[in-house]
Amino acid sequence: MVSRLRVLQFLSASALALVLAGCGAPLSATWQGFPPDATGQADGKDTPRADAGPDCAQVKCVALTFDDGPGPHTESLLDVLDEHEAKATFFLIGKDVVKFPDIVRDEAARGHEIGNHTWSHQDLAKISVAAGQRELSKTDAAIKEVTGAAPTVMRPPYGTIREDHMKSLDLPVAMWSVDTFDWKTRDAKKTVKAAEKVVPGSIVLMHDIHPSTIEAMPKMLTDLKARGFHFVTVSQLVGDPKPGTDYKTGRQAAAGN
């Protein structure tokens, strides 16, 4: 009995020590995300960035996508997405990845998909293949440097890309089927309204650099969830996207599911 008591005393002392040690390291007010090695994303090869998610051939899925970030409003968007257990895809501008590396790291750590949107938002219909490849590879490297993993998908700025660029790509191309025109209206209500056109398999185009888009998100997510939608990344929606192929939609669950 004595030895058991000593063990108990030792255990409580250890627990107390842990609590005290914890006091010296206050938890941050905002979640900083897992380090890359804790999420299995460190090598960036063969390890999926996020889990497979719901089976979009069976249940209604939609891929919400956000272009032109990261920016000063992105972190509040990440919090709204977390509150609704929604995963999304972010198409990043390379020169802003190096400006806001912590936000990009946080996007990846929270299970969102990271896409390449060129280094300086170039129209790939207007520049040479070599120049386009420089835009993309510089951005790939910046994202890999920050998150530990290369992007898994790309979206050409303005949704325009020539066939010769297409053939040179080693990433799948994500276009969209629902344009919210959030960049044009800058009106949260109109952005919410635009999402009424979402059907199973839709890819929705938005931009996380506009405050009105972030403002639209709680209602848009609530409305879509009430209609039975699951919020997934582009790769989860499509299933197994192929490099050099463009996707406007993903898998579509049969009506009634």
Residue selected from 39, 60, 63, 67 as contacting Zn ion according to rule CB under 5 A: 67
- In the complex, the smallest distance separating the C-beta of residue 184 from Zn ion, rounded to whole angstroms, is 13
Subset of residues 144 to 173 that bind Zn ion, contact rule: CB under 5 A? 157
Size of the site for Zn ion (CB under 5 A): 3
DSSP 98: T
The amino acid that residue 144 corresponds to is K
Rule CB under 5 A: say whether 53 interacts with Zn ion.
no
Q: Which residue lies nearer to Zn ion by CB, 39 or 177?
A: 177
C-beta closer to Zn ion: residue 68 or 106: 68
Structure tokens at 224: 């879509």
182 belongs to the binding site for Zn ion (CB under 5 A): no
Contact 95, 120 (CB under 8 A): yes
- Least Å distance, CB 47 to Zn ion, is 28
Cβ contact 53:236 at 8 Å:
yes
Nearer to Zn ion, 68 or 208 (CB): 68
CA angle 47, 164, 170 (to 5 degrees): 5
Q: Which stretch binds Zn ion (CB under 5 A): 4-12, 64-72, 146-154, 184-192?
A: 64-72
- Return d(Cα 146, Cα 25) in angstroms, integer: 25
Phi/psi-derived region of residue 71, left when phi > 0, alpha when psi is between -120 and 50, beta in every other case? beta
Nearer to Zn ion, 34 or 183 (CB): 183
Please list the active-site residues: 67, 207
- The yes or no reply on residue 94 touching Zn ion (CB under 5 A) is no
Contacts of 99 (CB under 8 A, 6+ apart): 70
Instruction: Map residue 230 onto helix, strand or coil.
Output: strand
Among 68, 107, 182, 208, binds Zn ion (CB under 5 A): 68
- Which residue bears the tokens 């895809």? 89
Give me the numbers of helices (H) and strands (E) for the chain, helices first please.
10, 9
Per-residue interface string for the shown chain with Zn ion, residues 4-43, x marking contact by CB under 5 A: ----------------------------------------
Closest CA to 72 of 174, 208, 189, 201: 208
Q: How far is the CB of 166 from Zn ion (least distance, A)?
A: 18
Which chain residues interact with Zn ion by CB under 5 A? 67-68, 157
